[in-house]
Structure formats: C-alpha cells, structure tokens
Amino acid sequence: MWNHHTASPAANTARKENLMNEKIRCSWAGNSPIYIDYHDNEWGRPVHDDVKLFEMLILEGMQAGLTWITVLKKREAFRESFDGFDPYKVALYDDGKIQELMANEKIIRNRLKINAAVSNAKAFLRVIEEYGSFDKFIWGYVDYTPIKCHWEKHSDLPANTPLSDKISKDLKKMGFKFVGSTIVYAFMQAIGIVNDHITECFVYKEISEITACYAST
C-alpha cells in the first residue's frame, strides 16, 4: 500500500544508504530486520498456497488502523493461536474459542477483527467449494499473470486501484469482512498479484524474472 508503510525519515535515510549497498531495496524496508526479511523474501512474491493466502488475507484485515510491523511482530503468535491459519479449523471456532483469543495478550485483541477472521474462514471455504481453491479464484482476476508496475519511488504507489475495487466488492458479496479496497490492494501486493516494488529494487528484478518464466510456460 504501500499502504503498509508510510516512509519515515529513518526509512528515507536507509534508502539512501541502500544505494551504496549491494542490494537496493524499497525505502519502506528501512533498517528493521523483520521488515527487511519480509520485504526480501515475501512481499510481492507470488503465493498460490491456500493456507498462506488465507493467512495473508486475515493479517491484512488485522492490520487495519495499525502499522504492518505491529502485525509482523505478532505473526508467530497469530499462527499459534489460529491453528496455523488452517481455514477449516478457524471456520469451526465457537464463542469459547473467540473468548480465548480475546484473552490472548500476544495477538491483536479486537473482537470485530477476530469475529471477521472466523466468518472469513467460512466464506473462504465456500470459495474453495465453488472454484476448487481460493488460489484459482483470486488469481483468476489476472489470469495467473502478475501485474508488473514501474514505480520509480515509493510515493508513486497507489492505495487502491479499479481492480482492487472490483475484488473488494466481489469479496463483500461473498460474505467477507474487513476487505475494503485498500486492504484488498495491500493483499494483492503481498501475494504477488501486483509487483509494486520500485524498479531499482533487487526484488523487483527477481520477481520480474520469475513471472517471465511463468508466462513462457
């Protein structure tokens, strides 16, 4: 989005320093090891595993109104508390389980978001039943071909697009919650439907090469 990341003075300084390093990164990665690891190894790299797709969809919803690094720091606790983000298990959560989650200080304790995670798991399973997998559904919007953008600087990135608007509306009709267009666009960025790394970023180049191989097969 960068939605996830409003570049701070420190992040801008880090970007300048990166220009002198072997690897050039998007400015939002900054100096934080957890951010750098997420930027280098996950953000924008195509994801097709349904469990991982469900995880990212829920985490993006959890991030609403908060910083992404807050979510990343609690990610392992979320995985432990939400049964590894297995949608089949999360869909069965009852009031007792929700109360247990609300008492867990290691995660984001927002009842609306936790309730949404459960209802979204149920909607997620309905999509799987209809399409065979959530992967087929979500990647069908781009015919399995990532959108390759050409941003020169972080500030050029949009918060949403006409496609995220459409996906958001479709998801809402299917019963999903916390899937506004901005959240959906962040989800699209995270799972690689759109490559929003700046063009000088080393990850942008790696993803471009990978997706070129996809297109040729």
- Residue 93 annotated to the active site: no
DSSP 35: H
- Residue 68 annotated to the active site: yes
The one catalytic residue among 38, 43, 151, 185: 38
* Single-letter amino acid code for the residue at 27: S
Q: How many whole angstroms separate alpha carbon 67 and alpha carbon 69?
A: 5
Phi and psi, residue 167, nearest 5°: -60, -40
- Residue 60 annotated to the active site: yes
The one catalytic residue among 68, 93, 139, 204: 68
The pLDDT value recorded for residue 173 is 98
Helix (H, G, I), strand (E, B) or coil at 55: helix
The pLDDT value recorded for residue 215 is 46
Q: How many whole angstroms separate alpha carbon 212 and alpha carbon 214?
A: 5
Each residue's pLDDT tens digit in the chain (217 positions)?
Answer: 555 555 555 565 555 454 445 799 999 999 999 999 999 999 999 999 999 999 999 999 999 999 999 999 999 999 999 999 999 999 999 999 999 999 999 999 999 999 999 999 999 999 999 999 999 999 999 999 999 999 999 899 999 999 999 999 999 999 999 999 999 999 999 999 999 999 999 999 999 887 654 544 4
The pLDDT value recorded for residue 201 is 96
Domain extents in the chain: 50-136
Alpha helices in 64-161 (DSSP H): 68-73, 75-81, 87-90, 95-102, 111-131, 134-139
Q: Which fold has domain 50-136?
A: Endonuclease III; domain 1 (1.10.340)
The one catalytic residue among 35, 43, 60, 185: 60
